């Protein structure tokens, strides 16, 4: 029973070694003409007045679909057009000012002929990703990103493996280079990803925080008895201490209360037992950063006040709110 497992592990490690070598070859190629053409391709896409039309068929088609999805979600308006469907009416999806990004390892994919011919007739820029510098695709391109010829991980050299990995890598490199050029932020990313756990992580905390009368607040001169009553009513396990102008001066937690219970609860004031330097954040902070702020410390925080530029409390968040939002 152990021999097949060992054989499979050997095969897996061999595949990873071959594919790692292909990525090294791709990296080396960037120091040559590929790097110059890559920079031209990024500028071509940035300076276009339309969208990026991504196309490819077969294994290259699968890669091109993934790259297009990454581009769209990181700020580059793009869509995938199937090359065979393009010849049967979908060329109507391509508009003036668009740029074509075509994937084909061999560069001789017959199905690309229609979209390449249309690009020529309508003066659209074509960026190709291929391993064949003298192929029909490369010759039809405004900019050709020629990948190095590498050994496929498939022992027969037939199934696209190393070559598709390089296509994916250079597609991701394009998406990230464009993201950085556009100064695409996490807030921008949230706009395109409002759903699921990823969307939850990228929401500003202002969308989750409790506000108004829900806030557990009291002035610095109130008695310990009043502090206990306020904390019990609001059930956040803490109370913010504010001054006459509403500025947050400190924080009292359950732990602070336990330490002070031997005091006279009517004579002791909030100011005497508060923490004068509580951790706070702003309403625009992303929920993922709030979670890190609350957890990444020797003693994790269960509740956190959100304050404005004047340090006035605008909201409060409890770790249970983050749990309900799907962050934990």
Judged on CB neighbours under 10 Å (0-12, 13-18, 19+), 165 is buried
**Among the listed residues 192, 182, 171, 183, the one whose alpha carbon sits nearest the alpha carbon of residue 46:** 182
Residues 40 and 285: their CA atoms lie apart, in Å, by 36
Note whether 93 and 103 are within 8 A (CB).
no
Determine which helix (DSSP H) or strand (DSSP E) holds 303, and give its type and residue range.
Answer: strand 303-307
| Residue found under tokens 């050029």 | 181
Torsions phi, psi for 262 (to 5 deg): -80, -5
DSSP structure string for 18-84: HHHHHHHHHHHHTTTHHHHHHHHHHHHHHH-SS-EEEE--HHHHHHHHHHHHHHHHTT--EEE--HH
Residues 88 and 162: their CA atoms lie apart, in Å, by 32
Q: Which residues pair with 250 in a beta bridge?
A: 241
Chain centroid to Cα 300, Å, comes to 26
Residues 276 and 281: their CA atoms lie apart, in Å, by 15
**Among the listed residues 246, 181, 183, the one whose alpha carbon sits nearest the alpha carbon of residue 212:** 246
Note whether 322 and 208 are within 8 A (CB).
yes
Is 121 annotated to bind ligand?
no
**Known binding-site positions:** 82
**Known binding-site positions for Zn(2+):** 82
């Amino acid at each position: 029973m152990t021999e097949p497992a060992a054989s499979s592990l050997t095969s897996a490690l061999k595949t990873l070694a071959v594919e790692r070598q292909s990525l090294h070859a791709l990296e080396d190629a960037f120091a040559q003409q590929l790097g110059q053409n890559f920079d031209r391709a990024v500028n071509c896409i940035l300076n276009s007045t339309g969208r990026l039309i991504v196309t490819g068929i077969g294994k290259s088609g699968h890669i091109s679909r993934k790259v297009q999805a990454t581009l769209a979600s990181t700020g580059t308006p793009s869509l995938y057009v199937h090359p065979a469907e393009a010849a049967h009416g979908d060329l109507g999806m391509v508009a003036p000012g668009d740029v074509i990004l075509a994937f084909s390892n061999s560069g001789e994919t017959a199905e690309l002929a229609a979209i390449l011919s249309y690009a020529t007739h309508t003066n659209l820029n074509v960026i190709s990703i291929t391993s064949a510098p003298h192929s029909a695709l490369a010759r039809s391109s405004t900019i050709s990103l020629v990948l190095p010829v590498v050994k496929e991980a498939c022992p027969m050299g037939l199934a696209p493996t190393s070559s598709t990995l390089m296509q994916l890598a250079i597609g991701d490199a394009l998406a990230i280079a464009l993201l950085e050029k556009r100064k695409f932020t996490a807030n921008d990313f949230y706009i395109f990803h409002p759903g699921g756990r990823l969307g939850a992580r990228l929401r500003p905390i202002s969308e989750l925080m409790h506000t108004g009368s829900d806030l557990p607040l009291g002035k610095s001169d109130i008695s310990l008895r009043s502090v206990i009553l306020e904390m019990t009513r609001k059930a956040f396990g803490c109370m913010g201490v504010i001054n006459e102008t509403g500025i947050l001066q400190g924080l009292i937690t359950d732990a602070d209360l336990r330490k002070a219970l031997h005091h006279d609860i009517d004579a002791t004031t909030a100011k005497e037992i508060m923490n004068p330097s509580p951790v706070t954040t702003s309403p625009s902070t992303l929920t993922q950063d709030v979670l890190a702020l609350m957890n990444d410390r020797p003693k994790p925080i269960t509740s956190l006040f959100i304050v404005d530029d004047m340090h006035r409390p605008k909201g409060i968040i409890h770790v249970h709110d983050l749990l309900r939002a799907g962050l934990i």
